[in-house]
Structure 1
């Protein structure tokens, strides 16, 4: 049964869900078949992996029906009943949360039973529920008006206008917000995939409607309008300024995932401007990220994607926001994991020229970095820090020359051991270690030869497959001038 749908669903359960489902499957309201309870209890013994050989179909059947010959169709029947219960359990749990669709269903139940006072009260309660994404919110508002319309029609009073203007208005809002949202996604995708074309025949009308003065009070519509315009007319910076202002004013009206998605459009606009050399957008991008963190849109209690984390670190570094950068690294320690935390804290210490702390952080971690590329980056950072310490130790009291030589040898040994795993990265880091070793040998000789340094510099410049090339050329140039 390991490959069955039933086992796949059970593997997706959390420990809490298993605890709740044990009660659910025993509730006579949802299940009256004792064999389904027995089946779940038997399977649960092998949670959470559900990979025991005791889950063979025939063994499970023998447990349920010890006196009967094996029947495939019978075990399938009970497995299907348990799958249905799991699906009902998930739906039931979702409906326990305060959500507009559940409230709409309850309101409709009151209306069908002509309990109009409770219907009206329940229907109006939708406005007080937690935020949902903008198209869904517009949809639920539309459904509110449709229920009002149906309630009037049910009274069969032909002289009473059946609430159709409100229905039509909410229908237009729902359509406009949805069209702008997904139209913006389509346009954004096309920026990176020019061969992709989309047919959006009503676009001009939708944009014109959203831009009408009576719609300025609809934050969702205005945000998606400004997203669309910033994509369509990127040279007009007023669209970005409007988007930024709207996001900072109204972000709390949306679910966190949708607010995050809205901010990503603003990020991409800034990145597009930076790619065109407009450096002031570096500060704009930094301010957006900082605002998102201050308001919980980017949350340190949840996993942060590696790309977003790298972007934030790089921006803070380029702006010289060292104190903020350190706070960010410490606050998001759990969100990114220990490897990423240690590496970026060590990198910050290196940028602050606190080389001893850089080495200490990386030595304590040693070879425990799980990601091989991060391991290589950490090793090269430690190599650079040791070289800087060696150059600062002009009196030779700390034996950094020995430490550096030993580290280079161990780094090369690591590269040799993991050569097959490293693929083309092997050459980049091997070239780095060899060139640093040549530079170190020249420094230790007591007499730096300009011709040798020139040849080394030219060799590095010609080598395309080498890590930390800019730093290495900087150190060679410093050695040529006698400053390092």
Structure 2
């Protein structure tokens, strides 16, 4: 049964949902006529892994019906019933957790039951809840659109056409706004997907629509007509335009100003997406013009944290990648005091299974930059290397620590292991591999000079490193090369 749909569903249940599902199963209201409580009790013993050999179909059947011969159809029927109840339970939980969806569904029920009083009361409740909602582009104004449509249908049904028309205007506005924001967002995605994955996100319809809309004219008219929605269309238009014109810093500054003037209008998830838009712009610009905008990127990260937009919602953890990127940026800019506060405050925002390793990696980087190389090595030794996702970060930092501590034998051994790892692994991109390979090659040259106390070529290597584009830990390599050059 391990591969059954039922088991796949039950695996996603949280501990609380599992307990609530037991009540659901035992409720006579939800019964399909067959008693599925026995099957539930059998499966309960194997939650949450469901990987026991005792979940073999025939063994499960023998447990449920010890005096009967195995009957495939009978087991299939009871399994199907419990599967249906599990799906019904999940839908019920979703409905209970979303008060707006609950009101929307209830209003439709009252409408079908032709109870205008309860219908309007429920719509008014929904309207009140939506009035306090902040904007999120992934859903736009779909809930508002449904609300206004329901109001319009009510007024038309009661022959109050003077009241139905304003509602039609309103939901048409919501449909239009949702389309515009979604369309502009997808045009932005088209650029990112092409730049990052070299894939085309296009079609004759999408291209024709985009080429037909004069957004500049639209914004001008919205401003002239004093539309309340100017800010929204303008903002998402500038997200797209800034990415189309990464050479125009003033356009990016305008985009940021528009956002910081209206942050209270966006929900947390949208802020999270917007800050990632800012990071995408910086990365695209740096890639196109071969520039480094570490301070600009770090400033965006700081703003992201100030606005609690480090994850899409309060219930979601900070991604390990974001934590790592902030760590690397803070370290590269020498923001050590700020970084110490970051470690103490935001490590707990990671998933529990990542906290210990990431905290030790962060502290190792901090100690290294402060010249406490043995402390840095001690932190790295605490990391569960076999399961840690950032093995390259550890190897790179360890090589630099070995260099600083004159641990030549360990360093040369690590060089060989690092090269073999990069050659064999498919966990990292070719670009990242190239950066690390270039680092290893220059590191090896510098290490040999230091170990042999021969630094005649250090000046030449320093210039060679400076000319090299794709190289990890470049500033550190240049610093070490210059130190050797002074010893000539």
Other structure's SS at 1:47 match:
coil
Deviation at 1:383, TM superposition (A): 0.6
Query: What residue is the counterpart of 1:376 in the other structure?
Result: 395
Contact 1:347 1:381 (8 Å CA) reproduced: no
Name which one, 1 or 2, has greater alpha-carbon Rg.
1
Q: What does 1:338-349 align with in structure 2 at a 5 Å threshold? A: 338-349=356-367
The change in CA–CA distance for 1:184 and 1:460 in structure 2 (over 3 A counts) is closer
Deviation at 1:280, TM superposition (A): 9.0
| Alignment equivalent of 1:230, drawn from 225, 242, 252 | 242
Contact 1:282 1:315 (8 Å CA) reproduced: yes
Query: What residue is the counterpart of 1:113 in the other structure?
Result: 115
Contact 1:98 1:129 (8 Å CA) reproduced: no
The change in CA–CA distance for 1:370 and 1:127 in structure 2 (over 3 A counts) is closer
Deviation at 1:53, TM superposition (A): 1.2
Other structure's SS at 2:269 match:
helix
Contact 2:104 2:147 (8 Å CA) reproduced: yes
The change in CA–CA distance for 1:156 and 1:456 in structure 2 (over 3 A counts) is closer
Residue 270 in structure 1 maps to residue 282 in structure 2: yes
Residue 442 in structure 1 maps to residue 460 in structure 2: no
Q: Distance in 1 between matches of 2:439 and 2:381?
A: 19
Contact 2:242 2:251 (8 Å CA) reproduced: yes
Query: What residue is the counterpart of 1:56 in the other structure?
Result: 56
| Alignment equivalent of 1:139, drawn from 138, 142, 158 | 142
After TM superposition, the structure 1 stretch with the greater mean CA deviation from structure 2, 172-181 or 272-281, is: 272-281
Residue 94 in structure 1 maps to residue 128 in structure 2: no
Query: What residue is the counterpart of 1:85 in the other structure?
Result: 85
Deviations, residues 192-239 of structure 1 (Å, cap 9, x unaligned): 455615233222437344552244545543332221222234444443
Other structure's SS at 1:50 match:
coil
Query: What residue is the counterpart of 2:191 in the other structure?
Result: 187
The change in CA–CA distance for 1:169 and 1:467 in structure 2 (over 3 A counts) is closer
Query: What residue is the counterpart of 1:400 in the other structure?
Result: none
Q: What does 1:319-330 align with in structure 2 at a 5 Å threshold? A: 319-330=333-344
The change in CA–CA distance for 1:473 and 1:53 in structure 2 (over 3 A counts) is same
Query: What residue is the counterpart of 2:376 in the other structure?
Result: 358
Q: Distance in 2 between matches of 1:187 and 1:216?
A: 29
Other structure's SS at 2:28 match:
coil
The change in CA–CA distance for 1:147 and 1:244 in structure 2 (over 3 A counts) is same
Query: What residue is the counterpart of 2:5 in the other structure?
Result: 5
Deviations, residues 232-264 of structure 1 (Å, cap 9, x unaligned): 344444432232123324344444333211221
| Alignment equivalent of 1:127, drawn from 125, 130, 150 | 130
Instruction: Output the TM-score relative to the length of structure 2.
Output: 0.79
Query: What residue is the counterpart of 1:398 in the other structure?
Result: none
Superposition RMSD in Å: 3.8
After TM superposition, the structure 1 stretch with the greater mean CA deviation from structure 2, 74-83 or 280-289, is: 280-289
Q: Distance in 1 between matches of 2:85 and 2:384?
A: 50
After TM superposition, the structure 1 stretch with the greater mean CA deviation from structure 2, 7-16 or 159-168, is: 159-168
Q: Distance in 2 between matches of 1:190 and 1:430?
A: 31
The change in CA–CA distance for 1:340 and 1:18 in structure 2 (over 3 A counts) is same
Query: What residue is the counterpart of 1:298 in the other structure?
Result: 310
Instruction: Output the TM-score relative to the length of structure 1.
Output: 0.80
| Alignment equivalent of 1:478, drawn from 471, 475, 483 | 483
Query: What residue is the counterpart of 2:182 in the other structure?
Result: 178
Equivalent pairs, count: 456
Residue 288 in structure 1 maps to residue 300 in structure 2: yes
The change in CA–CA distance for 1:366 and 1:54 in structure 2 (over 3 A counts) is closer
Q: What does 1:148-227 align with in structure 2 at a 5 Å threshold? A: 148-156=151-159, 162=165, 163-192=167-196, 196=200, 198=202, 199-203=206-210, 204-205=212-213, 207=215, 208-209=217-218, 212-213=222-223, 214-215=226-227, 217=229, 219-227=231-239
